[in-house]
Amino acid sequence: MSLDKQAFNKLYPFLFASVLTLSTFFLLYTFRSADDNRLTSWQWTFGDAALLRFAAFLVSGIIISYMLARASFPQKRPARFLFLISFAVSVFFWREPEVIVDASRYFTQAKHLEVYGMKYFISEWGRGVNAWTDMPLIPFFYGLFFKLFGEARIYVQVFNSLLFSLTVALTCLIGETLWDEETGFLAGVTLLGIPYLYSQIPLLLVDVPMMFFITLSIYTFIKALRKGGMWVSASSIAIFCAVFSKYSAWLMLSVLPVIFTVYLIQKAQKCRSAKVQKAPPLNKVGNTPLTPLYRGEFNSEPRTPNSKLQTLFYRGISVALIAGALIAIVVLFKFDVIMHQIRFLREYQAPGLRRWGESFVSTFLFQTHPLITSAALYSVYAAFKKRDLSFIITLWLPLLTVLLQIRRSRYVMVMLPMLALMASYGLLKIRAFEIRRFIVYCIAASSIVTAGLAYLPFLQKMSLANLKYAGGFLNTIEAEAIDIYTVPSTDTVVNPAVSVPILDIYTDKDIYYHHDPGFSLPFENIKESPLRFTWEYKNPAYYEKRLPDKNSPVIVISNGSLENLPDFLRDKTRELKKIRVFDVTNEIFSFNPVVTIYLRR
């Protein structure tokens, strides 16, 4: 064989993977109308895409992937490397504005802690602090950051980026623990290849933290079963945090009994195949036989397989009892609030999931990556052929998502680390080390380019971004307080009052908000809407703590541009001058908040 032919044979798999990466992207672009995601659908985000620009960045990403794969980097501590890389990538997306109105709930809850303290937050959760269907842990953390460091969105973004990066590292560690270091590393890089995640990291929501706590619960529970000791306490605390991060976490924690069962079966199989070592005969010192205790100082008696099985069982039960006790304390303290929320979830949220869903085509092809999904599907066959019980641990959450038809990308984010582990398990069937790594690097590069060049610019042009730009402008005005009015509209099911907390995220001015309780849509129009909570918004008392002076700016938030002001606003702004209007819109969503700012002439 000639030298040129040998070189081509070595290069051919890389060329094939490169072509596959490019063709996958352009295939998705061609059929982008099939993506029905409610936030980052390809038919919206790639509406005005410059394909040559995307192609140039994709090719650059492929070249970098080739260099990394040939360098076999990193050699040591892959979890630490993945943590640093994922955090660095996430920082790029901090420019994204709040694009989901649910952020207003979590900010309002967190601000109660900042303004009134932890004692008030804990005692008034679900009463003075309107909890809707939310759990308190994540707003508690957000409020604590505001209390300690100041009311700035950047602290939440740093926190969420840290949790995302830790999730990537934990995914790697789970793969190492269940199989080997290579499986873990591939899984961590694969998780970076899911573009939808990057749209969620900067947001003041609870989905990224919940994904972290579920992944942490899985890892610490595995370690508790294998090692015991302090891992039992760590696992109990992780489960406690997961339970009080979001109600949907309760369902996802069903993976823990699966882990427990898998480890019991594996240990029982070892017990059946192991031979019990016989204790050596009693020795004598003179005419006196050694007692078992004394004899044990010289020859430690081997533990039988049955005792190891009992130890595993006791460790699992210990975690359940400690975590159960911690959870029970909070449940008893907030029993009426939690029961009310559960009833409401059963009557409103559960039926609503079927109406608010997105297709699996969108979730597993466009918002994840086709190569990840393909590798994950192949892994099922590979694990079944190998009869690998450990694989059931990673399969459980994706399988649950499909069987229960959970069709909303935000709600299934929690299972993405397990999907990444499945994909890495499937990719291991590619024997060439460099090719495996090249493929996962290409997946990550393609997704980062998609999120950075398509998702982010699109989200920065959404109407909710007007609140960010208006808040930044208000910070340049010499005024301590601002006077805010909202103008309700029948053209949307969103109550514009929900915009006030989001504007508050971006401005350091004191806010006095004029809440109009006289307007509301008919209940029949909103009772099944996912945005019904916006009409149950209560004006927080901290927005009434001071009145602005006569020179304070007047802010009007409306759905779309206002041609004619209502009478009460016309009188209010008669002697004022309109100085700025923030009216960026992509005309896709029905709620398009426009911010108009008035100052005294």
The residue out of 416, 435, 460 marking a domain boundary is 460
Predicted local distance difference test score (pLDDT) of residue 280: 53
Mean pLDDT of 181-206: 97
- 328 and 254, same domain (yes or no): yes
Distance CA 355, CA 357 (A): 6
pLDDT digits (tens, 9 = 90+) for 392-443: 999 999 999 999 998 889 989 999 999 999 999 999 999 899 999 999 999 9
pLDDT digits (tens, 9 = 90+) for 524-542: 777 777 788 888 877 788 8
pLDDT digits (tens, 9 = 90+) for 548-587: 677 789 999 998 888 778 887 888 888 889 999 999 887 7
The residue out of 445, 460, 475 marking a domain boundary is 460
Predicted local distance difference test score (pLDDT) of residue 119: 96
- 535 and 561, same domain (yes or no): yes
- Domain containing 585 equals 465-600
* Cis peptide bond prior to 281, omega within 30° of 0: no
Going 265 to 266 to 268 to 272, the CA torsion angle's sign is positive
In a domain, 136, yes or no: no
In a domain, 469, yes or no: yes
Residue in this structure with the two tokens 């099985």, named with its chain if needed: 309
Mean pLDDT of 340-345: 90
Do the beta carbons of residue 225 and residue 267 sit within 8 Å?
Answer: no
- 492 and 556, same domain (yes or no): yes
In a domain, 244, yes or no: yes
- 253 and 216, same domain (yes or no): yes
Distance CA 280, CA 282 (A): 7
- 419 and 323, same domain (yes or no): yes
Mean pLDDT of the chain: 89
- 442 and 488, same domain (yes or no): no
In a domain, 63, yes or no: yes
Confidence of residue 352 (pLDDT cuts 50, 70, 90): low
Residue 8 has pLDDT above 70, yes or no: no
The two tokens of residue 290 are: 């050694």
Do the beta carbons of residue 543 and residue 507 sit within 8 Å?
Answer: no
Mean pLDDT of 88-97: 97
- 335 and 228, same domain (yes or no): yes
Distance CA 295, CA 564 (A): 95
The residue out of 460, 478, 495 marking a domain boundary is 460
- 478 and 454, same domain (yes or no): no
The strand pair at 593-600 and 576-582 is best described as antiparallel
pLDDT digits (tens, 9 = 90+) for 485-524: 998 887 888 888 899 999 999 999 999 998 766 667 767 7
What is the pTM assigned to this prediction?
0.92
In a domain, 129, yes or no: no
Predicted local distance difference test score (pLDDT) of residue 308: 82
The total number of structural domains that make up the chain: 2
Mean pLDDT of 264-270: 90
Predicted local distance difference test score (pLDDT) of residue 2: 54
The strand pair at 510-514 and 481-487 is best described as parallel
In a domain, 1, yes or no: no
Predicted local distance difference test score (pLDDT) of residue 200: 97
Predicted local distance difference test score (pLDDT) of residue 278: 47
- 346 and 455, same domain (yes or no): yes
pLDDT digits (tens, 9 = 90+) for 217-251: 999 999 999 999 999 999 999 999 999 999 999 99
- 454 and 490, same domain (yes or no): no
Predicted local distance difference test score (pLDDT) of residue 299: 44
Confidence of residue 294 (pLDDT cuts 50, 70, 90): very low
In a domain, 121, yes or no: no
Residue 295 has pLDDT above 80, yes or no: no
In a domain, 276, yes or no: no
Distance CA 136, CA 374 (A): 37
- 61 and 175, same domain (yes or no): yes
- 451 and 497, same domain (yes or no): no
Residue 50 has pLDDT above 70, yes or no: yes
